[in-house]
A and B are shown apart, each in its own frame.
Chain A
């Protein structure tokens, strides 16, 4: 099976869908002629024409607002926001419009829209190219939120998102574009060509929204992670020799609560890891859900490892980023509190 980078897999998903469905349109800043700053749309304009893949003015509000109108017409827009940090001007269009349209019109108008955006840090991007705003979307009724962690999933999840009848926020951990980055920034990252999850089937396939994947079977503690933190948790478990069961959530909403509960009831312990800031982060929701569903199975307090509650710094990036050392220490504390 061909191995691809995550960027190639994401492009492949759009290519497959644009080929199958002529209502799929792709646009955003630098997306058309140039193919996007991360090259996720490279070649799509040449292949499908300027009315299917095109550049937009620098207006995130304009991109998402126009996409809502297009979706209401009957197209399936898949738009790119250059960095998740730039989404805020479009937030009203996402929260008050895309997410509410089906409900408020009683299904007369719907919004099959995908908003793709690179998320997370680890690239020395400072506070405007590193944020992880997923909790701002999971808090909104009417949105689905997806965070893939590898090329194989990224393609299947993006195809599922484009085919979904409702708006989907698709957060792409940019530090994973080229390989499964585990937080060890001092060494070169393994390329996807050397990782089994870099194997991307050709053609059309989906990974269903709302299904988690167990990345490592274990008995000592359940680690709930998504995106880059899946590999950080794997590294931490290997380095501390803690027999962790690592669950890659893949979709935050809808959430695969069943898989989470089954694992925590088995291990009796739970640790949550995310790169986003701690307070009111998605980990708070996970922690509450686990406590509600697994209270009598818990042998230790649920722990959370997350970004500190500061803006994402530049020079102190690796002190901010929840790397394998910090995650490893927390793992040991969770099994021996």
Chain B
């Protein structure tokens, strides 16, 4: 959680400095993805949204690679093709992020169905925000998960705000998002998403259920988006400036810190030291990433790369266009 927060702060700043076009931070929601990741096994596959970078950080995906993706530089593992933060790492159980909301939810169910068809024990984990539960993909995912009892955990991260739209607009007359599961016959839980240990406990339970082939579980993680939706957003235009100051549900980092101090396994000094270490790690990674270029300066993916990878084998019409482009 602390690494993700420091990473966000540095990348947000890098965006403001013009080193990339766009950034999305996690402030307030760090516990959800960081704690959930700890309940998974290698081979399990997350189908994330753009606000689950904690899944990557908590499983040791190199910060430098994440930054190279954000900078779209010559070392970008996605060759400059994707908007910043739309990471992909099959090796780290992290499905390519779309940017079209909710599409990944039904794909997670399909992936889980495939695992079951192959008598595999790997599970899939779907992620979605409160606002995009209104998309048809969400409802298709719940129908398919219910009908085929797919080994999938379906997470809803309710951070209260879909850009400027309060979650009630998507929730409608339903008391909670978790209640959406009941009509589909899918067991549903609602958890304090700012409590790292609670998220971990719920994740363990749902993951175990899926892995033992007892079927899908729907989890609503109640949290709060402290920051802006993205680097292109200004929340003061639609919610009180002071709202985020009160940290609804509390800062997940401070809550875990206080808990560990009370348990006698952590201290204020140790925490300060950890913050400094984390910042140092992130800054070192950033320096290395910037050696490979940033969006508008230094090394870039080649224009030739733009034409590659549309198909396994380049068809004649694309080959002609690449020649026209002079690459």
Contact = CB atoms under 8 A, between A and B. Distances in A.
B182 interface: no
Contact of B88 (A70, A96, A97, A105): A105
* Most chain B Cβ neighbours within 10 Å, of A75, A102, A106: A106
A103 B81 contact: yes
B26 to A, nearest CB: 22
A67 B148 CA distance: 14
A109 B108 contact: no
B137 A108 contact: no
Interface in A90-105: 92-93, 96-97, 100-105
A125 interface: no
B144 A57 contact: yes
B312 A110 contact: yes
A52 B118 CA distance: 10
Nearest to A68: B107
Contact of B143 (A59, A93, A102): A59
Contact of B110 (A65, A92, A104, A255): A65
A70 B111 contact: yes
* Most chain B Cβ neighbours within 10 Å, of A51, A65, A67, A102: A65
A103 B90 contact: no
A97 B98 CA distance: 7
Given A74-B114, A102-B310, A104-B96, A65 B141 contact: yes
A93 B311 contact: no
Contacts of B115: 73
Contacts of A254: 315-317
- Size range of the chain B interface in the assembly: 35 or more
A92 B104 CA distance: 11
Contacts of B116: 51
A106 B309 contact: yes
Interface in A60-88: 61-62, 65-70, 72-75
B111 A69 contact: yes
Interface in B52-100: 77-79, 81-82, 86, 88-91, 95-96, 98, 100
B311 A66 contact: no
Contacts of B311: 102, 142, 144, 165-166
Contacts of A101: 96
B124 interface: yes
Interface in A4-45: 25
Contact of A102 (B82, B114, B124, B312): B312
A141 interface: yes
Contacts of B98: 96-97, 100, 104
A142 B144 CA distance: 26
Given A69-B114, A72-B95, A62 B82 contact: no
Interface string B286-325: 0000000000000000000000011110011100000000
A104 B81 contact: yes
A144 B109 CA distance: 25
* Most chain A Cβ neighbours within 10 Å, of B47, B107, B112, B141: B107
A162 B86 CA distance: 29
Contacts of A110: 312
Contacts of A191: none
B114 A109 contact: no
Contacts of B143: 57, 59, 62
Interface in B115-157: 115-118, 124, 136-137, 140-141, 143-144, 147
Given A102-B309, A142-B310, A166-B311, A70 B96 contact: no
B315 A210 contact: yes
Given A102-B312, A104-B86, A108-B88, A66 B95 contact: no
Contacts of A108: 88-91, 96
A219 to B, nearest CB: 27
A337 interface: no
A237 interface: no
Contact of A66 (B79, B89, B107): B107
A225 B72 CA distance: 44
A117 interface: no
* Most chain B Cβ neighbours within 10 Å, of A89, A100, A103: A103
Given A65-B109, A72-B110, A73-B118, 4 more contacts: A106-B79, A108-B89, A108-B90, A142-B311
Interface of A: 25, 51-52, 56-57, 59, 61-62, 65-70, 72-75, 89, 92-93, 96-97, 100-110, 141-142, 144, 165-166, 210, 253-255, 257-258
8 contacts: A57-B143, A61-B140, A65-B141, A69-B114, A72-B95, A102-B312, A109-B95, A142-B311
